[in-house]
Structure 1
Amino acid sequence: MMILRSRQGRTTSLDRLWIVLLALIAVVMPLPALAHHPMDGEMPTTWAQGFLSGLAHPVIGFDHLAFIVAAGLLGVTQGLGLPVGFVLGGLAGTGLHLASVDLPGVELGIAGSLVLAGILLVQKERFPWWRLALGAMLVGLLHGYAYGEAIIGAEMTPLMAYLLGFTLIQLAIALGVWGITRFLLLGRWGWPLTRLNPPGWVIVGIGLAFLVPQMVALILPVANN
């Protein structure tokens, strides 16, 4: 129960757990955030397949899952407009991909958004809700564009089920994180906001783990020329 009794900013078991997790992320570079697909690369052909694929896609893509969790945490400090805006932006982004609109730098933007989300968690500066909601929608646009890769060419029934699936799972995770965090901060344990610093730094670390390899891949060809 060490974790629950510490309110004075001392290094606790929880802090050490976050530090270890961040160190592991820094050592083990994640796989590229390409098109994640739970159907072994097969296109969903039924409503059930489309729905299950939509549920799984944001979860098996670690960069996507990390930002959904970050959006839930930021909902506590910045308001629910941020996670809701992110989910709505995801729908729009998938629509752009399905409409064959070219959106460059998607994976780079997703990694950069993780770094920014972590920094916002650590700083805890309050911004106007509409600015953050708009920013979250733009970030959601990038994530949704990446989701669209897995469903291009599908029939309308599995396509609609896919959209429903990834919308519901993102809302469930983000709102679940928001609710649990609010309970810990405002409930009988009364954690201070500084307890959000460690997960904020972990999210920054995850973002950098995705961002650095992409930046190196962009810079090396230019340097070799």
Structure 2
Amino acid sequence: MAVVPLLLMGSPALAHHPFGMGDSGTLTAWQGLLSGIGHPLLGPDHLLFLLAIAFVGLKRPMSWVLPMLAVGLGGSLLSQVIALPELLTPWAEALVSLSLVAEGLIALSMAPAAWLLPLFSLHGFLLGSTIVGAEATPLATYFLGLLLGQGVLLLLVSAWSQALMPRLGAQGQRLGAGIWIGIGLAFAWVALID
């Protein structure tokens, strides 16, 4: 719980792309790779989204992580071809945060697990739209780093949560889902009033 205040202190600009992806055309391939690896670890909404996916996937085999990574990366790639509509731009961070609410509802079986694939794709699209304009080489290595960073994080957290959840029991799992919903609503509120 002591980590939550630290996560809330993250700066949105730095948190999502440590080297300013999309802001500069002078990035190297190495900077693109490091930015991709760092993205899921430094952005509090992104990190919590991935942690919640592991929480939702407790009753699924580890192989379910691969489709999540594929559609998330697909959404990010799509954002390089199809621009985020200007009408949605001010709401992008709030939509990303509301995905935590949806994950909590899925964990509570109040929403279908089939929502995860489109949620992950939307998440990738919204966050990928912030790097439009980067040169091809750092952009390609950014996506490689993103795949590696998200993949390792999802696999580790999924394995850890599958070992932890039986000890929490149904009550603890419901509490965890409620926490995700609360955090998602808090992040969405901050994004809306900011």
TM-score tier, shorter chain, comes to 0.7 to 0.9
Once residues 26 and 76 of structure 2 are traced to their aligned partners in structure 1, the CA distance between those partners, rounded to angstroms, is 16
| TM-score of the superposed pair, with normalisation by structure 2 | 0.77
Match runs of 1:17-166 below 5 Å = 17=1, 33=12, 36-39=16-19, 42-43=24-25, 45-78=27-60, 80=62, 83-103=65-85, 104=88, 105-121=91-107, 123=108, 125=109, 132-133=113-114, 135-166=115-146
Size of the aligned set, in residue pairs, is 187
**Deviation of residue 43 (structure 1)?**
4.7
Greater Rg by CA: 1
* Alpha-carbon distance in 2 for matches of 1:85, 1:207: 23
- Cα displacement (A) at 1:109: 2.1
CA–CA distance in structure 2, aligned partners of residues 181 and 44 of structure 1:
40
Kindly state the Cα deviation for residue 65 of structure 1 after the two structures are TM-superposed.
Answer: 0.7
Provide structure 2 residue ranges, at least 5 long, that are not aligned to the other structure: none
RMSD: 3.2
What's the % identity of the aligned pairs?
A: 28
- Equivalent-residue separation in structure 2 for 1:98 and 1:164 (angstroms): 15
Q: For residues 34 and 198 of structure 1, do their structure 2 counterparts lie closer, same or farther at Cα, with a shift above 3 Å needed? A: farther
Q: Please, which runs of 5 or more residues in structure 1 have no aligned partner?
A: 1-16, 218-225
Query: Match of 2:131, SS?
Result: coil
The one of 138, 150, 154 equivalent to 1:170 is 150
| Structure 1 CA distance for aligned equivalents of residues 13 and 61 of structure 2 | 30
> CA deviation digits over 1:51-96, x for unaligned, max 9?
1010111221111110000001111135557643332222122122
Q: Report what 1:212 is aligned to.
A: 189
Q: Do the aligned partners of residues 179 and 144 (structure 1) sit closer, same or farther apart at CA in structure 2, a change above 3 Å counting?
A: same
Question: Given that residues 50 and 158 in structure 1 are in contact (C-alpha distance below 8 angstroms), is that contact kept between their aligned partners in structure 2?
Answer: yes
More helix, by proportion: 2
The one-letter code matched in structure 2 to 1:68 is L
Quickly say closer, same or farther: Cα 1:107–1:86, change in 2 above 3 A. farther
